[in-house]
Structure 1
Amino acid sequence: MGIVVGGYARISDVGELGDGRDGEEGVTRQKDDVHDLVKGRELSLHRMYVDNDLSAFKRRVNRPDFQELVSDLETAVISGIAAYNIDRITRQPRELEQLIDIYATARRPMVFATTAGDYDLSTDDGRFNARLYVMIANKFSADAARRVARQKKAEAIQGKPHKGQRAFGWQPGGEKVEPFEAELIRKGQRDVLNGKLESEVHAEWVELGISSPQSPNGETISFSSVQYILTNPRLCGYRAYVPQVERERRGRVDLGEWLLERADGTPVIGNWETICTPEEWRAVRDVLKARKTEGRGRKKGTTVSKRMLTRIARCGECGRGMFSAIYTRGTKSYEIHGYYYLCRKAEGGCGGVSRSGPPVELHVELVLLEHLTILAKDSKPGQSLDDPELIKARQELAQVEADMAEARQLRDAGEFSLAEFVREIRRLEGRRDELSGKVATLNAVGPQTGASAAERIVREWGTYTTPMKRAVVERFIEAVVIKKQPRGGNHAFRPDLIEIIWKK
């Protein structure tokens, strides 16, 4: 019985060529070569270690069988490696040095055999030859990666779809939308603009058993994938390009920050069917950005809140915004209502008013739906329900975009220096992003206007989550004033102590 070795086979066809090949044929050929090598050298093969579709050049790629091979070498389960060539084992000098350390400290006969010849890692010459070959393989991979990156960027500038796995929402090839997934995305975007949380959209998709092309077999879609899908610029036709080195270093990135632009500053448009408009895409992205927290607490302008009327409800004594709190567990109030609204002294209030939450919310909902029903009847087709603040923000946003276009024209005409142009564009882009977020936050009822918007809200109200209901309340109601309950007598809910102040 000869020295016990581990055979190693690896190939990285899948995802590199994008032609449907699975790399199995190449791995099978390598296995045959290893078996012939072991047989010809009278070695004993412990087992084959195989990493199919895994690069030996990319630093962040985890190769499970390679790691197991190294572990078995360290623990003397095996005393050598047999492979087709050394570049099948590694193309990274740091991994080779790890193997050299194992071979240099081993107190047993060791073998490093390939069909191109052996490497004696216990000698200076053997280590030099191995290092030289791995360095050459590393340089070859780096050059190939650079050529591929240039080709991919050129294709991106031409507006060609990304190769490889299909994107969620599109059929294989990336040009035609997949109807069911496209409608799922559209509904998800509408719901987000109407106040629904990403976690709620994710829960709905999981309940439907949705999985993405990137989901592991048998698993439903992840939360991060839903976020990535809803904000993907390819939805509105924009072409993004992220260098491979950035993908490997940062993982999944915000593609909205990697949009390709033409010389005139306009975005590169892809050659595929779109699922939403650029305005809708930007609105969803801006709303989700506005909801992100910064440290403890919530960012100013967020639509995220636990209760429907938190701080919309106002104390009838001091006018301060009211907060929610849970009744003491085990009490009758807890069993019936669960929570209540109160004016907090700790938040600067008088502390003199509190009221059970569900009855107040139900009353506000009924009055709001009645108000919207009347609006639907009285509104003319196409008449806008937008508030003045939203109309003004839209006008300002249109002016900023016009100013950006004019700045580019002046730069092309040579009337703007490069430094002046960069400063002005950066200022305008900051203002545009600020106004886009404001428009998206105010535009809670979505793209529809007039009677159709009010009718839709009334019709779909029963399906709205608390954040969605809150968004509509904020859209039409300035405040819900809760007046102090008179002392003594019956403490049943009294609608006359609730005053709704409508936005003008």
Structure 2
Amino acid sequence: MTKPKRVGIYVRISKDRKGLDLGIQRQEKACRELCGRMSWGVLKVYSDSEVSASTTSRRHRPGYTEMLRDIRDGRIDGIVVYSIDRLTRRISELTSFLEEQKKYGFAFATTEGEDTLSANGRLILTIKGAVAQQETERMSERINNSLLQRREQGKPHAGGKRQFGFQEDSRFQELDDRESTLIREGYHMLVGQASGTPGDVARYWNSQGARTPQGGDWTIQSVKRVFRSERTGGIVTYKGQDIGDSIYKSPLTRDEWEDVQTLLNSRATPAAQGSGKRKHLYSGFLRCGYCGANMRVQWATVQGRTFRRTFCHSGQPGRGGRLGCGKVSRQYQWIEERLNEVVQTALRNHIPRLEESPAEDFTGEINLLESRIQNLRKRWKQGEMDDDDYFDSLAHLRINLQDLRTRETSSLIRRSRIEQDALSIWMNESPENLERRRAVAATVVEHVDVLSVGRGRRKPPEDTSIRIVLVNAAHDGPSEQPVSNSYTANNSRRSG
């Protein structure tokens, strides 16, 4: 083989903690000295700094890719590396590299003197590559075993971005007093008698001047991320599995964190009509009079004036699974006043009694499952169970526990709605009583079809612009009915 005149030197280092590229420089110096002894001309140096070549790494190596591309294009005719483990730690990648050499016929050398021209030399090189891969895999096993041991000792993962509730650079071991207090206040807002929503918590945190760890305003999703994080409940996980409790303080206890998960999970599916947490009294009752899609209610600001509006969303499924038409957008206040009159009149004429739901006590079953989980974790830590059996059993028990907690929460909500005097519940307009008022309204109103009133109208909308279907009429056979004059005569002149 003729001496190559356009040699590429490849250098790589997995970690450069000081950022000085000293390891890169030492490799390049040794490779240049080898090229000088063999009278090979150096054309270019290809470098990958802080890039692993192990089987566990998924990062792209731009220097290595560019070097192979130049080989195929004929820009270089030789490659020199410090050692084979600098080139790769994957036996499959080494085999592919040797195939590339055989195909394009470029020269290859290392400072350790590997020979790729003979069969024995390629065999020895392949063995060294296999040893390098085994060393990487054993190192990975040792690291994983060490991490698992730390998790079993109650020490959570200390890496990653700062999380709300913990002090910066504390490795999640020290709490931020102000932020952890806000988390606990948010917890009481969610699970307390007020039955707040993540949106309520976001608005409260913003009003207190709190900001996300990235410096932004709080949103529903960012609040959920805080309460969904196992760190918030002091729970240690390893590869997605619950290992135990942290030895460090956390904003919430495990039980409190699991209560929040039960609550958030129960709200993850669409709520039945007249039930579930809502911000507006008739959310879920209003339908588009043209396509039948459920209408949304939200706050809007137009020309400095803030008001509530209900509208047909073009992304909301309507009749037959078709998306909403988007034709209707109305002020919500006028519709709410009309419906309040309907419900109140119906209650005065005939006070409905809400169905009693049987009281269910899940305490014993929940305590039993929690005890079984603790015993299971104890057996696993003592080496009496295999990992696969432990995680499978743990996942099964946690699914059952989650189901029981959801049923317990639903039972409490149902029992809270059992009242004898529906009219007195209806007259209580406090925000905390919104869910009970919705339950009362559902005993009178089945749904409401809302029609468009056109643009530029200054007079109040006609009563016929909404069609109320009462519960009895819906049970006898749904019929679209305009608002009865007896319900609206007193307030027909109010603007909407």
TM-score by length of 2: 0.58
The structure that has the greater radius of gyration is 2
Residue 271 of structure 1 aligns with an amino acid whose one-letter code is: I
Q: Deviations over 1:72-129 (max 9, x none)?
A: 333333333322211012111111122112111105xx23222212442x54233212
1:129 aligned counterpart, secondary structure: helix
Deviation at 1:51, TM superposition (A): 3.1
From 380, 395, 405, give the equivalent of 1:436.
405
Question: 1:259 matched to which residue of 2?
Answer: 242
Write the distance in 2 (CA, Å) between the matches of 1:241 and 1:289.
22
Q: Deviations over 1:21-73 (max 9, x none)?
A: 55844334334433444444433131332231534331533333333333333
Question: 2:150 matched to which residue of 1?
Answer: 155
- The answer as to 2:22 corresponding to 1:48 is no
Contact 1:3-1:79 within 8 A present in 2 as well: yes
Structure 2 gaps, min length 5: 298-307, 322-327, 342-355, 380-384, 414-428, 451-458, 464-482, 490-496
Question: 1:311 matched to which residue of 2?
Answer: 284
Question: 1:477 matched to which residue of 2?
Answer: 438
Deviation at 1:433, TM superposition (A): 0.5
From 22, 30, 51, give the equivalent of 2:27.
30
Write the distance in 1 (CA, Å) between the matches of 2:50 and 2:217.
24
Contact 1:235-1:274 within 8 A present in 2 as well: yes
Question: 1:104 matched to which residue of 2?
Answer: 102
Q: Deviations over 1:255-279 (max 9, x none)?
A: 3xx011xxxxxxx221222022223
Write the distance in 2 (CA, Å) between the matches of 1:152 and 1:3.
49
Residue 339 of structure 1 aligns with an amino acid whose one-letter code is: F
Write the distance in 2 (CA, Å) between the matches of 1:423 and 1:241.
14
Question: 1:264 matched to which residue of 2?
Answer: none
Deviation at 1:160, TM superposition (A): 2.0
Aligned-residue sequence identity (percent) comes to: 19
From 297, 321, 324, give the equivalent of 2:295.
324
Correspondences of 1:311-390 after superposition (within 5 Å): 311-313=284-286, 323-324=294-295, 339=311, 356=330, 358-359=332-333, 363=337
- The answer as to 2:404 corresponding to 1:402 is no
Deviation at 1:236, TM superposition (A): 1.4
Deviation at 1:132, TM superposition (A): 0.8
Question: 1:330 matched to which residue of 2?
Answer: none
Contact 1:85-1:114 within 8 A present in 2 as well: yes
Write the distance in 2 (CA, Å) between the matches of 1:66 and 1:422.
40
Q: Deviations over 1:215-252 (max 9, x none)?
A: xxx9999999986654221221111112xxxxxxxxxx
Contact 2:373-2:397 within 8 A present in 1 as well: no
Deviation at 1:133, TM superposition (A): 0.7
Write the distance in 2 (CA, Å) between the matches of 1:106 and 1:422.
50
Residue 79 of structure 2 aligns with an amino acid whose one-letter code is: I
1:240 aligned counterpart, secondary structure: strand
- The answer as to 2:205 corresponding to 1:231 is no
Contact 1:188-1:230 within 8 A present in 2 as well: no
1:57 aligned counterpart, secondary structure: coil
Deviation at 1:307, TM superposition (A): 8.8
Correspondences of 1:241-260 after superposition (within 5 Å): 241-242=238-239, 255=240, 258-260=241-243
- The answer as to 2:111 corresponding to 1:115 is yes
2:127 aligned counterpart, secondary structure: helix
Contact 1:312-1:474 within 8 A present in 2 as well: no
Question: 2:134 matched to which residue of 1?
Answer: 139
> Aligned pair in 2 of structure 1 residues 97, 322: CA closer, same or farther (>3 Å)?
closer
2:8 aligned counterpart, secondary structure: strand
Contact 1:9-1:83 within 8 A present in 2 as well: yes
Question: RCO (CA 8 Å, sep 6+): is it higher in 1 or 2?
Answer: 1
Residue 438 of structure 2 aligns with an amino acid whose one-letter code is: I
> Aligned pair in 2 of structure 1 residues 311, 87: CA closer, same or farther (>3 Å)?
same
Correspondences of 1:58-207 after superposition (within 5 Å): 58-107=56-105, 110-120=106-116, 122-165=117-160, 167-169=162-164, 170=166, 171-172=168-169, 173-178=171-176, 194-196=196-198
Deviation at 1:145, TM superposition (A): 1.5
Write the distance in 1 (CA, Å) between the matches of 2:85 and 2:254.
46
Structure 1 gaps, min length 5: 15-19, 213-217, 243-254, 261-267, 316-320, 327-335, 348-353, 368-387, 445-457, 462-470, 499-504
> Aligned pair in 2 of structure 1 residues 425, 142: CA closer, same or farther (>3 Å)?
closer
1:283 aligned counterpart, secondary structure: helix
Write the distance in 2 (CA, Å) between the matches of 1:28 and 1:179.
47
Contact 1:6-1:82 within 8 A present in 2 as well: yes
Write the distance in 2 (CA, Å) between the matches of 1:94 and 1:431.
44
From 256, 259, 284, give the equivalent of 1:283.
259
Contact 2:8-2:78 within 8 A present in 1 as well: yes
Write the distance in 1 (CA, Å) between the matches of 2:141 and 2:22.
27
Q: Deviations over 1:10-31 (max 9, x none)?
A: 23337xxxxx655844334334
Write the distance in 2 (CA, Å) between the matches of 1:62 and 1:221.
35
1:239 aligned counterpart, secondary structure: strand
> Aligned pair in 2 of structure 1 residues 47, 210: CA closer, same or farther (>3 Å)?
farther
1:177 aligned counterpart, secondary structure: coil
Contact 1:310-1:322 within 8 A present in 2 as well: no
> Aligned pair in 2 of structure 1 residues 92, 224: CA closer, same or farther (>3 Å)?
farther
Q: Deviations over 1:336-385 (max 9, x none)?
A: 967269xx8869xxxxxx99462257659999xxxxxxxxxxxxxxxxxx
Contact 2:71-2:104 within 8 A present in 1 as well: no
1:6 aligned counterpart, secondary structure: strand
> Aligned pair in 2 of structure 1 residues 84, 219: CA closer, same or farther (>3 Å)?
farther
Write the distance in 2 (CA, Å) between the matches of 1:423 and 1:166.
30
Write the distance in 2 (CA, Å) between the matches of 1:80 and 1:219.
52
Deviates more, 1:29-38 or 1:274-283: 29-38
TM-score by length of 1: 0.57
